[in-house]
Chain A
Amino acid sequence: MSNDLRIAVLGAGHVGPVIARAAVEAGYPVTLAASGDPQRIALIAQILAPGAEPRWAADAIANADVVVLAIPIHKFAAFDPALVSGKLVVDVMNYWPPIDGMQAMFEDRQCGSSEIVQYRLAESTVVKTLNHMGYHELDEERRLAGSPERRSLGVAADEPHAVDIVADVIERIGFDTVRLEGLRAGRLLEPGGPVFGASLRRPEFERAIRAEAA
């Protein structure tokens, strides 16, 4: 994929601007949207993710190839699936009741949160990644390919082609990728899982995942 892939980041909280900045610095055209008037996030974009354009959400999504969903998970129930119909959606959200409170939609512990997001966004292709590393580390630990310091991010989706596209973005942003087969396997990336909150190089990451899956 070329760097012409257009990325829309939804969410101007802790995580959204960090991802937007990383994507801008990797050379992608990036838009940033929150709920409401882009004027309200213009300063946030200008200072925290210079180069990312603040837009209305619908406008940002319509003109994007990849939509990064970095909204608070409790806002997801009110998120209109039609907005991202036909889009490739990167789900950065985590379901972590001790921090965000209980959400009825995500209480089915048989399914991972991204499986539930995919079920609800039936007309979109959902990829789970960028959720398990702290936003400090996402910002500070980006490294060029080949650096011995380079950290790994897991990427999970049901559609291999979608994993390819998103893994390429993650690699360009500055992380190695470890592919997981299917959103179901993406549960390994969730809170309480072996790589959540950790910042691991590829061999450590693969070991942690294997140990848990075994």
Chain B
Amino acid sequence: MTTEPSEPFPLSFGLDTFGDVTHDDEDRPLSHAQTIRDLVEQGVLADQVGIDFFGIGEHHTDDFPLSAADVVLAAIAARTNRIHVGSAVTVLSSDDPVRVFQRYSTLDAVSGGRAEVILGRGSSIDSFPLFGYDLADYEDLFEEKTNLFAELLKGSPVNWHGKTRPSLHDQDVVPHPESGTFPVWIGVGGSPQSVIRAAHYGFSLMLAIIGGSPARFAPFSQLFRQALESFGRAALPVGVHSPGHVAATDEQARAEFWPRYREVITRFSKIRGFAIPTEDSFMHEIGQHGALHVGSPETVAQKIAQTLTSLGANRFDLKFGMGGLSQQALMTNIELYGTEVVPRVRELLA
């Protein structure tokens, strides 16, 4: 059993999107189809500007029409050759782990070994009624399906027995990943038991920090490391997923992001019980003790460096986009993130 902290993992930087519908020059929402085609362009640009990972979060609503992330990721993979592509997250609880494995091992084949999967319950829950699952069962569903997913990753033949899907007996599940496996993370929003679960299965930890001080999650990294050790496992990467927006100046980034953020969060507050954001709460969230990474390249780079340091994390995924922003604003965000923010964070942490 290892007791020493392992070698640090290399820093890596990703972009995550929920496929928020973009608006045209006259602030009218674009079609789902155009939003999805724009998303492919965003992924291609992310590759060109040197970003390490492009992730799409599964959603099933009019605002976020990204129900089949893996199809979009395959399109991005076909036009790129360096960037990793993956889910952020896959709502495993309401999916069939066998299909998730098949889709992402197919993506792994298409992309030449660049697929990753982030598993989660998903903070958005539209998939449960859609596929006939009861939200009250989400823990049991997630636990059992994570268990099956871990079995599938060990390779075929698969033997598994559970309550949520038919058993597997010496089942060959194809396609076989070329290099035997692909990276799997568990997205955790604040449940310590999910941290332990990730360690138990040997999956990496992706902390989703969408409000409050990122440093508050430092004990979760520590919990993950100690849990890995207690299970006799080697160290694994820790990542952070946080929302933000980069523009040329702080003022511009705020002016673009704030009205959209207020609109989207106000809409969600009704169904999710969030407080409605005020200008004060927004300024707090983009400040040193908040979760939003909004501003000029320098401001965002400083904040990411601080977030990674306080959590002992080696991967940062910026959740970019916010319903209503224009494709142009998103492309600028991606370009600045890749060409200015990431090199600056590397410099700050060197």
CA distance A74 to B128 in the complex (A): 16
With CB as the reference atom, state the residue of chain A lying closest to B209. A136
With CB as the reference atom, state the residue of chain A lying closest to B210. A136
State the Cβ distance, B179 to closest chain A Cβ, in Å. 32
Chain B CB within 8 A of A196 CB: yes
Write out the residue numbers on chain B whose beta carbons fall within 8 Å of the beta carbon of A134: 211-212, 275
The answer on a CB contact under 8 Å between B212 and A99 is: no
**What 0/1 pattern do residues 220 to 238 of B give for CB contact below 8 A with A?**
0011001100100000000
Instruction: Give the A interface residue count (CB, 8 A).
Output: 34
Write out the residue numbers on chain A whose beta carbons fall within 8 Å of the beta carbon of B223: 43-44, 47-48
Chain A CB within 8 A of B25 CB: no
Chain A CB within 8 A of B157 CB: no
CA distance A127 to B62 in the complex (A): 41
Name the interface residues of A1-54: CB closer than 8 Å to any CB of B.
12-14, 17, 34, 40, 43-44, 46-48
Chain A CB within 8 A of B272 CB: yes
The answer on a CB contact under 8 Å between B135 and A101 is: yes
CA distance A40 to B196 in the complex (A): 9
CA distance A103 to B219 in the complex (A): 33
Chain B CB within 8 A of A56 CB: no
Chain A CB within 8 A of B348 CB: no
Chain B CB within 8 A of A182 CB: no
With CB as the reference atom, state the residue of chain A lying closest to B211. A136
The answer on a CB contact under 8 Å between A48 and B136 is: no
The answer on a CB contact under 8 Å between B273 and A47 is: no
Binding site for A on B (CB under 8 A): 125, 128, 134-139, 189-193, 196, 211-213, 216, 219, 222-223, 226-227, 230, 269, 271-275
Q: Ordered nearest first, which 7 A-B pairs have the shortest CB separation?
A: A101-B135, A136-B212, A101-B136, A74-B136, A197-B275, A44-B192, A14-B190
Binding site for B on A (CB under 8 A): 12-14, 17, 34, 40, 43-44, 46-48, 72, 74, 94, 96-103, 134-137, 139-140, 191-192, 196-199
